Amino acid sequence: MINVAPRGRLTPDAPLAPLLWFKAGGAADWLFEPADPDDLCAFLKALPADMPVLALGLGSNLIVRDGGVAGVVVRLGKPFAKVSADGETLICGGGASGISVSSAARDAGVAGLEFLRGIPGTVGGFVRMNGGAYGREVADVLVEITVITRAGTVETRLASALDYSYRHSNLADGEIVVSARLRGRPGDKAAIQAEMDRIAAAREASQPLRTRTGGSTFKNPAPHKAWELVHNAGCRGLRVGGAEVSEKHSNFLINSHRASAADIEALGELVRAHVLARAGVNLEWEIQRVGRVRPA
């Protein structure tokens, strides 16, 4: 039970599937949409210390299992989605999308952040996962972040303190990125727009963006590409229940026929088994999988 009266919206037994790209999965015990950072701090301070907390952005790159999520899911909405320019840097709320950040950079004549147009998520998510696309990643442009810890305290951390590696940082469970400062370089607005258009067109041509998907499923195991390993293992079009490996891009799973979260996760594990048997490579999930398995 939660004995807190925040200013934001607190919803018990909140369905999460409508908020996720896959449109599958269970409910959160509690869903909290804070009014602002102070509201989030006060809320986390008042929570029992053993209650799990999970941040939710746009719901991409995430499987929520059918039994739902224990504890509190924190969703950063419009109060955390603002982006402003300060010279060659952008101050971005943790709930701002990659598209809004790259667009704000263009409007300010700041180049070097166009690749964020190709990341399907929010600042909080791609800072945590060192998200990347088209040859660049967040570690290349991040200056510092503001984090609210599970204890409800506010901390500023330099990018160098995050111990970045491929799709990984040292941010702890329950820590929520509420803002980030990103650095670009002076650029021509028309050239920036042209690069954003190129990225958007490349994504549209190669990825199943108009389906119920979760983005890139597996990390690229150097020197290989995950999609190529999956394709060569004969998994393109493979199905489990209502889940399917995309015919358009084999590193994408799609919910094509009212899949459950269990279908999607089982398909991913089946793909991993095929790739291991064929190529001897143990693919790692890039999509985060959270929550409880529904009892049989």
CA distances in angstroms from 162 to 41, 57, 104, 176, 278, listed in the order given = 21, 20, 25, 13, 36
Residues in the chain, overall count: 296
Catalytic residue among 75, 167, 212, 272: 167
CATH number, domain with residue 241? 3.90.78.10
E strand map for 118-233: 132-133, 136-137, 142-148, 154-158, 176-183, 185-186
| Digit-coded pLDDT (tens) for 242-273 | 999 999 999 999 999 999 999 999 999 999 99
295 phi and psi, to 5 degrees? -60, 140
The verdict on whether 157 is a catalytic residue reads no
**Residue type for position 269:** E
* pLDDT for 295 beyond 90: no
Supply the range of the domain harboring residue 157: 80-206
Asked if residue 155 and residue 106 are part of one domain, the reply reads yes
Residue 84's SS3 state is strand
**Annotated catalytic residue within 97, 100, 103, 216:** 216
**pLDDT > 90 in the chain, percent:** 95
Does residue 35 lie in a domain region? yes
- Output the domain CATH number for residue 189: 3.30.465.10
Residues 233, 245, single domain; the answer is yes
Domain match, 162 and 199 both: yes
pLDDT at site 216: 94
120-174: pLDDT as tens digits: 899 999 999 999 988 899 999 999 999 999 999 999 999 999 999 999 999 999 9
286 as an active site residue: the answer is yes
Residue 191 has which token pair?
Answer: 């050239």
Tell whether 2 is covered by a domain: no
Model confidence at 222: pLDDT above 80 = yes
Has residue 159 been placed in a domain?
yes
Helices (H) and strands (E) in the chain, counts: 6, 18
Concerning whether 102 is annotated as a catalytic residue, the answer is no
User: Domain count of the chain?
Assistant: 3
Catalytic residue among 175, 195, 265, 286: 286
